[in-house]
Structure 1
């Protein structure tokens, strides 16, 4: 899948969960949603983009959520 589309989708998920008052819960919600609903190839692609120029479009909360919960998001 196109990385730009993945970034847009991830940022939309982030917008939804960012409304939660507890930042840690919001980040856990983002990661759980990605784990549940994204196929392994999509997760691998977005995780590889974190911290690179290609992933610069990720919102701060999404990048933090994916980084913090990277272990649970790694495809098996």
Structure 2
């Protein structure tokens, strides 16, 4: 299993573990918060890129959460010295 497969598996597990919290939207918010708080930037970037390119192995809840997480991440600051 490569790193991306591991991230997909982990995202789906986190989504499954939180799927019973309220509505689907509330569950997605919890999953997105978990990913944002505990995943390294490189992990977040990799799972976001996967969702944008394919995402077919992610559960619908994981897809929604990753989309929410992506929207909540701050853009990288511009280098003002250029």
Q: TM-score range by the shorter chain?
A: 0.7 to 0.9
Moved over 6 A (4+): none
Matched, 1:14 2:15: yes
State the number of aligned residues.
Answer: 75
Q: Which runs of 5+ in 2 are unaligned?
A: 77-82
Q: Does 1:65 align with 2:65?
A: yes
Q: TM-score, normalised by structure 2?
A: 0.79
Match of 1:46 in 2: 47
RMSD between aligned alpha carbons? 1.9
TM-score by length of 1: 0.85
Contact 2:36 2:69 survives alignment (8 Å):
no
